[in-house]
Chain A
Amino acid sequence: MKFSYYPGCTLKTKAKELDLYGRKSLEKLGVDFEEVKEWQCCGAVYPVSRDEVATKLSAVRTLASAKQENAKLLTLCSACHHVLKRVNDDMKNDDNIRLKANNYLGLDEPYQGETEVVHYLELLRDYVGFDKIKEAVVNPLKGQKIAAYYGCLLLRPSETLKFDNPENPSIIEEFIKAIGATPVKYPFSNECCGAYVSATNKEIAVKKSTKVTDSAVANGAEKIVTACPLCMYNLTENGNKKVPVYYFTELLAEALGVKE
């Protein structure tokens, strides 16, 4: 099975090493992947308004490019994943958006939502399997108490994303177990960190991120792991600063022994 790998803008620039950890881990796990050719930004936010078509086009281009490669589209960042999966759903189910987007793009063959969008974590769960990962781990993160942070974009709306149980998710906890650490349960793993509002209203982001980090610490977390660069930024910069926040690929690479 082939995957078209879509690192996304943040992980390609600001957080290069997180992308690198992701790639090295994929290689170690024997996943067949190739970076999407000439990929463009997904748009960062899913355009909710039903009349927005132009803002969805870059996502459609990426989806169509994966279709051409006959591959599943593998995403690393929660926001990219969210946007690509929802736009894909529109291309599959919204006649108006599909027609207009295809009219704009003029592809050789109209794109109709054929590509399957897979998040890196879904790949680990559904294609590699957490048992396999457990076997591949060389440096188990034994004794580490890690809290999973899902945020919003991976889970909601569950009707479209179909990622995990939206109110009681478990995939990152399973991941934490697979790399040898102990997951810490706390009630705000799917509560918003403050998202993009932190750029214009830091106060809100501080409130939200502090609530999350405080709860994680109160429940005994020594680390927080997340799958979204924006969540990572907010929890780190606007949280209580008492708990380090990691991107999941870093912990994965460390456990697999491919982190330099």
Chain B
Amino acid sequence: MEKNEIVRLVKERSGTDARKCMKCGKCSGRCPAYHDMDIKPHQFVSYIEKGEIDKLMQSKSLYTCLSCFACVERCPRGVAPANVIEAVRQEVIRQQGGNKIMAETVPSMIDETIPQQLLVSMFRKLNK
């Protein structure tokens, strides 16, 4: 797929308008996973608007974002940085060989305490 088309799709799937961002950085000021991210929430919004999808698709933040929606909750402009991160992650995972976890590895993770909820959500987030 052509790069611009990926950018368009990611924007569409995110359902958020990056142009509304006023670059205040509140999302990144609130983010609990900030220190585990190479590209920060506000940068996801900025880069997607600039069309720099390659950078985003290689970011480790895709797997450290906790999906806690704090950035979405607090944005003064109604932008949803977490939705952009999610849409980029979806794009990565949907590509051929993009699965980050295989069904076969799940059984080995099961122990006495781990709740199904954790396994299902992990699998849903990392496998298409």
On A, residues with C-beta under 8 Å from B are 8-10, 13-15, 41, 43-45, 47-52, 55, 77, 79, 151-152, 155-158, 166-167, 191-192, 194-201, 204, 207-208, 229-230, 232-233, 236-237
Q: Are B82 and A43 in contact (CB under 8 A)?
A: no
A77 to B116 CA separation, bound complex (whole angstroms): 12
A50 touches B120 (CB 8 A): no
Asked whether A49 and B86 contact (CB < 8 A) given A41-B120, A44-B121, A230-B121, the answer is yes
A195–B90 contact, CB under 8 A?
no
Complex contacts, B103 vs chain A, CB 8 Å: none
User: Top 6 A-B pairs ranked by shortest CB distance?
Assistant: A192-B68, A44-B120, A156-B69, A152-B68, A49-B13, A196-B121
Tell me how far the C-beta of A180 lies from the nearest C-beta in chain B, rounded to whole angstroms.
28
Cβ–Cβ contact B113 & A204, under 8 A: no
Structural contact, B117 and A48, CB atoms closer than 8 A: no
Q: Which of B86, B116, B124 contacts A10, CB < 8 Å? A: B116
A13 to B110, CA, bound (A): 13
Interface centre among A151, A166, A196 (most CB of B within 10 A): A196
Chain B interface size, under 10 / 10 to 19 / 20 to 34 / 35 or more:
35 or more
Secondary structure of the B contact surface, majority rule: helix
Residues of B within 8 A of A (CB): 12-15, 32-33, 36, 63-64, 66-70, 72-73, 80, 82-83, 86-87, 90, 100-101, 109, 113-122, 124-126
**With contacts A157-B72, A200-B101 known, is A49 near B90, CB below 8 A?**
yes
Residues of chain A contacted by B12 (CB below 8 angstroms): 50-51
- Do B86 and A196 touch across chains, with their CB atoms under 8 A apart? no
A233 near B118: Cβ-Cβ < 8 Å: yes
Majority secondary structure, A binding face:
loop
Q: Is the CB of A192 within 8 A of B13?
A: no
Which B residues are in CB contact (< 8 Å) with A15?
115
In the complex with contacts A51-B13, A200-B101, A233-B118, A152-B125 CB distance below 8 A:
no
Return chain B residues, CB-CB under 8 Å to A201.
36, 63-64
Report the separation of the CA atoms of residues A96 and B54 in the bound assembly, to the nearest whole angstrom: 29
A152–B120 contact, CB under 8 A? no
> How many whole Å from A61's CB to the nearest CB in chain B?
16
Indicate if the CB atoms of A199 and B118 lie closer than 8 Å.
yes
Are A197 and B66 in contact (CB-based, < 8 A)? yes
